[in-house]
Amino acid sequence: MENLHGSPFWQAAMLFGAFVFLVFQTLRGWRAGVIRAGIGLAALVFSSLLGWAAMESVSALSGGRESGGGMLAGAAIGAVVALAVYLAIWLAGALLFKRTAQHGSGMLRLAWGAGGACFGLLFGLLILWGGITIVRGLGALAEGRTRPGGGGGSPVAETFVTLKDSLEIGPTGSFFQKIDMVPPEAYDTIADVSRLVSDPRAMARFLEYPGIQDLINHPKILGLLNEPSILRAAETRNPLALVANPAILNLAKDPEIVAVFEKINFPEALRYALEKPAPAGDDPAR
């Protein structure tokens, strides 16, 4: 996608903020000492891996990551697990090991602080690496609303789009895109889905797609229309309540629904919904 809102000023501001953050983390590591800072770094990596494993497990039990409810439940449980593990390991390190200032010997104190500074710098780099994904992800989510037909963007949405586009411009932006853990196509999909859910005409075309029609006209799907909790969530336009609804979560694991779901070409359905209406008589499935 073109970086229509990219600004060298905002890119420079983010780079300056990243530099200040790295300096802060390096000094923080120096004060903590090599053991405490090393444990903090290990805690970040280990808790992230456990959180990811928990997310995958819960998502699989709740209908899979392709299911909105499964993805939401997995992300929530994964975040809780990651945070709990990180805090437990960090607290253990803080209670058991000394800070740099608690060492009296000059050489030992220097080595203790220098090692901690290195670990603090690595900790900061990992946080910034994840921050690239967060900024680009939020920007892509907001981008769908700021495009024509996207329902219009709020000042907050415009800000996220500006930050994302600014992060991606020039040689520095190319470098950030190369080291990002998420493929570029994922951000395009996020923006398209955001535009889809905010554009009633696009959503109507999405629901007209033959594969989607087979899914929403399935008797078990139609049965959900009689669920009071689902009707309340729909009336209040609460998507979180919808995807976390027990009836929807149970249905997401139903073999019949899964079989219909797997036949849908969602990228093609998304393209069909967001493109201009086809001439009369065209078959959208072609």
Residue ranges per structural domain of the chain: 8-184, 199-274
Among 61-75, 92-106, 219-233, 241-255, the range scoring the smallest mean pLDDT is 61-75
> For the residues 176-199, what does the mean pLDDT come to?
81
Residue 268, CA distances (Å) to 41, 265, 274 in order: 42, 5, 10
Q: Is-contact 123 39, C-beta < 8 A? A: no
The pLDDT value given to residue 234: 66
DSSP 279: P
Q: Is-contact 169 218, C-beta < 8 A? A: no
**Positive/negative CA dihedral, 234, 236, 240, 241:** negative
Among 184-188, 246-250, 257-261, 262-266, the range scoring the smallest mean pLDDT is 246-250
The pLDDT value given to residue 225: 73
Question: What pLDDT, in 10s, does the model give residues 38-79?
Answer: 999 999 889 988 988 888 787 776 555 554 455 666 777 888
172: left (phi over 0), alpha (psi -120 to 50) or beta: alpha
What does the buried/exposed string (b/e) look like for 224-262 if buried means 16 or more CB atoms within 10 Å of the residue's CB? beeeeebeebeeeeeeeebbbbeebbebbbeeebeebbe
Cα 251 to Cα 261: distance, rounded to the nearest angstrom: 11
Give me the chain's average pLDDT, please: 80
The pLDDT value given to residue 286: 46
pLDDT band at 228 (very low <50, low <70, confident <90, very high): confident
pLDDT band at 211 (very low <50, low <70, confident <90, very high): confident
Rg (CA), the chain: 24
- Tell me the residue ranges of DSSP E strands in the chain: none
Residues near 282 by beta carbon (within 8 Å), at least 6 away in sequence: none
Angle between helices 106-146 and 8-32 (to 10 degrees): 150
> For the residues 206-224, what does the mean pLDDT come to?
82
pLDDT band at 276 (very low <50, low <70, confident <90, very high): low
The pLDDT value given to residue 38: 92
Does position 263 have pLDDT exceeding 90, yes or no?
A: no
Structure tokens at 247: 């009836």
The pLDDT value given to residue 152: 53
